[in-house]
Structure 1
Amino acid sequence: MHISLRAGERIFINGAVLRADRKVSIELLNDATFLLENHVLQVEDATTPLRQLYFVVQAILIDPASADRALGVFRDLYTATLNSFSDEEIVSGLRNVADLVEAKRPFDALKVIRSLFLAESDILSKGGKAAPIQAA
């Protein structure tokens, strides 16, 4: 896997944060979990049900040492998020996300969640069913 980074850009690999001091291209030669900085969601941006779920799955990927705890949070939040939508595309996507997370494929789960952001935005802008999940 070849990855190109711009000067100052960060990448999260197996729980470590790396920052490029100049434009660089790297090649990952073995299996590694990674997330590019432009796909990292900040806590203050987790303002919708899907973005909250994304944030938790992101934590599973970025911090492997705390993945078991984040997985418990994911399972609770997943159920609440699934129940907050009636849209078939989103419900189907969420079920796929759960399967991917349980199969220890959080990177793929994040891609699926990102692909649902537009549909969620459309639903929320029309006053459809879905509201941010409040922490218990």
Structure 2
Amino acid sequence: MLRITLRDGEKAIVNGAVLRAVGRTQIAVENMVSILRGREVMRPEEATTPARQLYFATMLAYIDPAGRDAHHDAVVQLLSLLIASLGTAEARELCIRFANDLAQAEYYKALAAARELIAMEDAAAADTATTQAA
């Protein structure tokens, strides 16, 4: 069983349905579901970099089983782009972990790897900005 606590007004997506907590709410999930809490949901306008676009496409594949095939195609293209743009051994290993999670339909785990890729991409961008400023 999975227990989730939502703050007043916080949203969650459960099997594609958007839920909003009224007051502090606890939910006990007793079977397998696709669930994302509000802080894990990315809006389309936030998908501004390859890693963020990868996260967004993976999130859609997770919460939209009917459109999963189309989302998978986008994920594969974005993963190839990301591997080329990051190019470090650590990034490649993380991309492989992401791909393995995705291949096993472990979308929630794949999203965690995608968040790490976002952090890696942000760090690389910050390093580039620092180098250019110097």
- After TM superposition, the score normalised by the length of structure 1 is 0.88
Q: What stretches of structure 1 move > 3 A for 4+ residues in a row? A: none
Equivalent residue letter for 1:50: A
In structure 2, C-alpha distance between the alignment counterparts of 1:12 and 1:117, rounded to whole Å: 22
Of structures 1 and 2, the one scoring higher in RCO (CA 8 A, sep 6+) is 1
Within 5 Å, which residues of 2 pair with 1:1-136?
1-127=2-128
CA contact (8 A) 1:90 1:120 kept: no
Would you say how many aligned residue pairs link Structure 1 and Structure 2?
A: 128
- Aligned CA distance change for structure 1 residues 74 and 17 (closer, same or farther; 3 Å): same
In structure 1, C-alpha distance between the alignment counterparts of 2:59 and 2:47, rounded to whole Å: 11
**Identical amino acids, percent of aligned pairs:** 31
Unmatched segments (≥5 aa) in structure 2: 130-134
Residue by residue, what CA displacement relative to the aligned partner does 1:26-81 show, whole Å, maximum 9, x if unpaired? 10001111111101111111112111100100101121211111011111221122
| CA RMSD, Structure 1 to Structure 2 (Å) | 1.4
In structure 1, C-alpha distance between the alignment counterparts of 2:36 and 2:96, rounded to whole Å: 22
- After TM superposition, the score normalised by the length of structure 2 is 0.89
Name the stretch that deviates more: 48-57 or 113-122.
Answer: 113-122
Name the stretch that deviates more: 115-124 or 49-58.
Answer: 115-124
Structure showing the higher helix proportion among its residues: 2
